[in-house]
Structure 1
């Protein structure tokens, strides 16, 4: 099971008009201090902390949640929930899918029995062209309006007045739109905080292409994780860090070949390549001719 965990959640790009969430469970809960067993679910869950403090361990990371925060628990991902505060923690939980694809009759139908996994039942996470997947950064601090929508959904699902399915679907779509907008605003806020550092780093790369600009070094300069640094870098530059570094080095190599008589070995060193063979292979791949042939041609032209 663990070896396949990174395959989840299964994502499906779909325009909003195809999103049609169905609600499988929506209740207020109270949990005494302590930890539940690890589990996976076939659908998705929004777990909102109304009072107290909680934690969820997922993919090797422990997320701490204070009152007013929620966590998005994806289909197929192993997780363990915990009530941290004493004597208990109060939650609001909503189980749902994005495409009205699951037939859930009981609460047990939502939980994966690892001895009898039904692979075809794992729900798809809807992904839009305009937003990152909700599962990408799973902790959210919803607005008061969003919390009120969740509370209203619990009321509809519990009381089940005529037409409650339609009301629940509409409420869930509204809740998802709130979370997507929160995620987008958070992403742009984080990006803008780092834009200045990124621009300074980009100038440094262009001035000193010979330095060992690995993804890890770039992330360390920005004081970010490697994945987060790469994401922000690509948002600003339009290229992943390694591709940008290669572009800068290749541009400088072309200039040195045209404007100097430096040996090719020296040009390779000055553009960050310790191996002339590696430099030559990359240069030929980009230009279609060798560095020596490029130099001769540039002299003629």
Structure 2
């Protein structure tokens, strides 16, 4: 799905005061908000439900614990899985000005690596997609949201301390790759491959998966090749064809509907890919299954 509406710019002066150039909220996302960019930095995290997060031209499937750093000028929007009241997508948003970030960096004894890291994110307009595996980021944002809404004496100092904690956590999460042990990487990789098998219509970007596991995109490709004997793109295609075979043999759905259900809109490409994997077109496969369900129809070399 693509967001075709023109990109609007959300201005920070709608949220900030001179005394506090930081804003916290917790919101149930809807389909009303359009894709937008802003003149401030945002750290946001999903705390409830599932849905999609569109960042520039990339679609991320999101659920509880997905954490994002969105720089100035980058367009994005969240969408819940559906408009049903039972399918809420709840997100914490922490927004602040670049000047406030610079002020925090100057006031606090942060290591040079942290200063350089956030400086480069701003200069390169680079986002981060991370995972709050142990709930630490959510606890920080809960405290910040409570301070922001209750406004007790000293709240601005607590918010400043909370943002420093959050920035350090983001930095540490981004550097998780060197310290992640092999067993953890293998476990997370298996989880992602299972997720791809389960939700075949979603095209997961390699950098999203790699960031979640805590490795580089190049290393991710090497691991998938070693584990499955194919690239990420090939693995997604195999998962989609396997689901296609099941739908062709177990349902009466139109072939075009099956193609769409597994993530393909281009029927010529879908038919060609299916024949490449199965040795016959989808319609031939369905006829073969209908006429003789006991006859093997899987092309040699096609994984089950």
Query: TM-score by structure 1 length?
Result: 0.44
Between Structure 1 and Structure 2, the one with more strand by share is: 1
Which of the pair has the greater relative contact order for Cα pairs under 8 Å at 6+ separation?
1
